[in-house]
Amino acid sequence: MYNTGILSSQPSKIDDPIFEARQTYLKAIRTADIDLFLSLAAEDIQWMPPNDTTVFGRAELKEWLEEYFEYFRPDSYTEPERDVKVSGELAVERTSYMISIAPVKGATRIRDDGKMLTVWKRQSDGSWKIWRGMWNSVKPIGSGTNRYMARLMQKKSRTK
């Protein structure tokens, strides 16, 4: 297991084979860069967002990301906890996150804290790609912490 220092703001690169890929992932989230995000996804990725259906494959993931970034832009994202366990061709990464999301259409900023589990798979060229990913908020459902609820709130405010 690789522990990056639970209270440290600086991740550790020591013996962490997915460190650079994770840094690219963070950049893709912070900049809403869909192409960069997709470059990290395995062809057969399964992405399991909270309160939503499972996304299968890169094409569906691209559609999901396009819709997400149509409504939201992360304006801050940090991971106070992160650990990684490698077993053969797989790396299992557990993180906690804190995110602030600015709705594109001017609704109230969303602040969320949660946990994420990402399974990375080593590719034949030696690179690591996200093979499975799921996360959830530690906040109660309905508190505006997921895209479904936030979109619903935006739609309601437009109809008034």
* Domains of the chain: total: 1
Enclosing domain of residue 105: 2-159
Question: Which of 71, 92, 107 has its CA nearest to residue 22?
Answer: 92
Phi, psi of 142 (to 5 degrees): 95, -5
Whether 66 and 100 have beta carbons less than 8 Å apart is answered as: no
pLDDT of residue 27: 94
Whether 103 and 71 have beta carbons less than 8 Å apart is answered as: yes
Contacts of 106 (CB under 8 A, 6+ apart): none
What are the pLDDT digits (tens) for 27-60?
Answer: 999 899 999 999 999 999 999 998 889 999 999 9
What are the pLDDT digits (tens) for 84-140?
Answer: 999 999 999 999 999 888 888 877 888 889 999 999 999 999 999 999 999 998 886
DSSP per position, 51-108: TSPPEEHHHHHHHHHHHHHHHEEEEEEEEEEEEEEEETTEEEEEEEEEEEEEETTS--
CATH classification of the domain holding 75: 3.10.450.50
Distance of CA 126 to the CA centre of its chain: 22
pLDDT of residue 152: 53
